[in-house]
Amino acid sequence: MNSELRREYLAGLGLTGWTLRSAEAAATVAPPADTSAAREAGVDWTELRARVAACVRCGLCTTRTQTVFGVGNLNAEWLIVGEAPGADEDRQGEPFVGRAGQLLNAMLHAVGLAREQVYIANVLKCRPPGNRDPGASEAAECLPYLERQIALLKPKIMLAVGRIAAQNLLRTDKTLGSLRQQVHRFGALQVPLVVTYHPAYLLRTPTDKRKAWEDLKFAREVCSRV
């Protein structure tokens, strides 16, 4: 991406410039993925999508408009993971649309990535009513689908956006602030995982955009070393 276009996207984040720094963080490891991941073992993209579309493993199947499988480049190095679909995503069947999606696009462009270059998914494939937080059992039932997506993608890095996504992926109740600026590891492939703020939160709290920018730079540095 040329410098002029990068400046444009940085301006959208409320930032004026950036500099690279060396990544200094202690590696932490998430607990092993649940053995229920074997439920989807060996399934290809087509079959996995069909299974998600027909899923009735939790009560969210009765309130959804449609499932939100995920979208993006099937050879992506970056996997972006949010918590669950919202109202717009439930209607359109695609993750991170609307204003939050536009900000996510700007965040990605700021580090030289187009939306089409990454893969975007959620921990949950169905919208919780009223956009409430996902229940523990709902996340447990849905996580094997994401684990299979990760096994098929083999991404170089995962970016968990938002507290709920980070806590579910890392199986922790630690605050988002305490999880930032560290290299975590996820699942059987031990994929490097970096935590940052959800775009919807940044729309409500723009003063934290600079922190998110630091996280994005950190994630890019981590990815460059994989």
Full set of structural domains in the chain with CATH:
26-225 (3.40.470.10)
User: Which of 41-45, 56-60, 157-161, 174-178 shows the lowest mean pLDDT across its residues?
Assistant: 41-45
Q: What pLDDT does 39 receive?
A: 80
3-state SS, residue 55: coil
Q: Which has more pLDDT, 39 or 4?
A: 39
Q: What pLDDT does 36 receive?
A: 57
* Residue 21 reports pLDDT greater than 70: no
pTM of the model: 0.85
103-131 as b/e, with b when 16 or more CB fall inside 10 Å?
bbbbbbbbbebebeebbbbbbbbbbbeee
* Residue 4 reports pLDDT greater than 90: no
What percent of the chain lies above the pLDDT cut of 70?
A: 83
What is the pLDDT confidence band of residue 41, given thresholds at 50, 70 and 90?
confident
Q: What is the mean pLDDT of the chain?
A: 89
